Amino acid sequence: MDKLQQIYDTCKNCTACPLHQTRTNCVFGVGNPNAQLMFVGEAPGEQEDLSGTPFVGRAGQLLDKFLFAVDIDRSDVYIANILKCRPPKNRDPLPAEEDACIGYLREQVRTIKPKIIVCLGRISAMRLIKPDYKITREHGTWVEKGNFLMTAVYHPAALLRDPRKNEEMLRDMKVIKQKLNELQ
């Protein structure tokens, strides 16, 4: 059995934090298991919980538009979240929930071995890049961590709330595409 499937099989039965009590589905991740580019958001929302797939709601559709705009095929990337189960009413993940869940993401990264990891939003950047990450000021900046490059962009849900940020998002996405091309 392939490694990602093995991790998923454990994850879907996980009871390591209280979020398992309210989930409909474990939202593990989706995309190319050999992706060079991986996006990591914070947690599933309502549509994601119902479907079991990350980024399928309005925010996910907006992310698709940005991927299309810079000529990145969604089927070439892998998309996951820090938390695999939905926090009630989409509240921010609690540190204890992140601690309980982060091992699944680590295993996903170890298995997929992406070259670029893009944090979608503040929560993901604070967990994966640095605890005091300021998304408004630091989005689009790059750091090298281990074997991969990392950056963060606005969470698409933040763009839905404030479309004035779309221009900055497009600029960041163009740089991601450029970095991806440089790896080819």
The answer to whether 4 contacts ligand SF4 (rule: CB under 6 A) is: no
The answer to whether 19 contacts ligand SF4 (rule: CB under 6 A) is: yes
Q: Using the rule CB under 6 A, which residue among 35, 62, 77, 100 binds ligand SF4? A: 100
Query: What is the smallest separation between the CB atom of 28 and ligand SF4, expressed in angstroms?
Result: 8
Which of these ranges, 17-25, 119-127, 140-148, 158-166, lies near ligand SF4 under the rule CB under 6 A? 17-25
The answer to whether 127 contacts ligand SF4 (rule: CB under 6 A) is: no
Hey, what are 57's tokens? Answer: 């709601």
Binding site for ligand SF4 (CB under 6 A): 11, 14-17, 19-20, 26, 83-85, 97, 100-101
